[in-house]
Amino acid sequence: MGAAMARTLAGKGVAVVGYDVAEAARNAAAVPVVADLAELWPRTRTVVLSLPLPEHVEAVMASLLAAHAPPTLVIDTSTSDPDVTVRLGQALDAQGHALVDAPVSGGPAGAAAGTLAIMVGGSEQAVSAARPTLDHLAAKIAHVGPLGAGHTAKLVNNVLCAAHILLAGEALRMGAAAGTPIPALTDALNGSSGRSGVTEVNVPRWITSATFDSGFTMALMAKDLSLAARLADRTGLALPLIDHVVRRWQELTQVHGGDADFNRAFLGEEKG
């Protein structure tokens, strides 16, 4: 995701310099890169993060804070923990920096095309400062609330996406076993009340085509669902369906492997 966003920004005339902890990723980058994270802070006043885990975001922000750099706008497009985001925002604010949480939906293809959907949390001032960068990357930008609200919205989105994949998989496999092919079923569903983003996009693009190359893995969705489970626990609400989705996704990650495309959850235990 980060590499695709960097290419898109560069393609739209933005001066981009990047960093990745993996040397192979740095060598393959289509934009100039630095070999050490500390080299980045003197060179830019706007930083876009796209990282796997909240711990990675914390480590990068610790480097920025240690550098005592001039005021810097940080746009975190990772899927992360809202509480971690708020805490980091407070630390950054104390040094004159600003943080916007701006997780994205649309995958690497959306990043490459500049057609992502972005859920944004942050102050009006910070979001306004981030918007020129976000406009290069997104077809839809929703400012959903203060800092942390973007990450909350993304966790809600991914719980629903995972649930839709699991349930659509069972329902459509049921229909297929009863004699109606999945393409015919999805064609009917997508004009009816049972449709979802999964039936409209994922099923034809990655599942019935058997390509399974969305660029998003079972393990990454499992991580996002784990973050959602932590958020659910903090609310104190009884959410048995979310609990079931989290457990079922963990089971299927063991079945298909963490590196498998996340759309394989549609297949249940089948390995097709």
Helical (H) or strand (E) element with 117: strand 116-121
Cα separation, 102 vs 74, in Å, equals 10
- Torsion of the alpha carbons at 248, 249, 254 and 259, rounded to the nearest 10: 170
In the set 12, 140, 154, 271, the catalytic residue is: 154
Query: 3-7 long-range contacts, Cβ below 8 Å, gap at least 24?
Result: 3/28, 3/29, 3/30, 4/108, 4/111, 4/112, 5/48, 5/50, 5/77, 5/111, 5/137, 6/30, 6/31, 6/48, 7/31, 7/112
Single-letter amino acid code for the residue at 265: A
Residue 75 phi, psi (nearest 5) = -110, 110
115 close to 138: Cβ distance less than 8 angstroms: yes
- For residue 224, give Cα distances in angstroms to 1, 36, 155, 229: 15, 28, 7, 9
Whole-number Å distance between alpha carbons of 222 and 207? 19
Active-site residue flag, 154: yes
- For residues 148 and 85, is the Cβ–Cβ distance under 8 A? yes
And the tokens for 244?
């079931």
Report, as residue numbers or ranges, the catalytic residues. Answer: 154
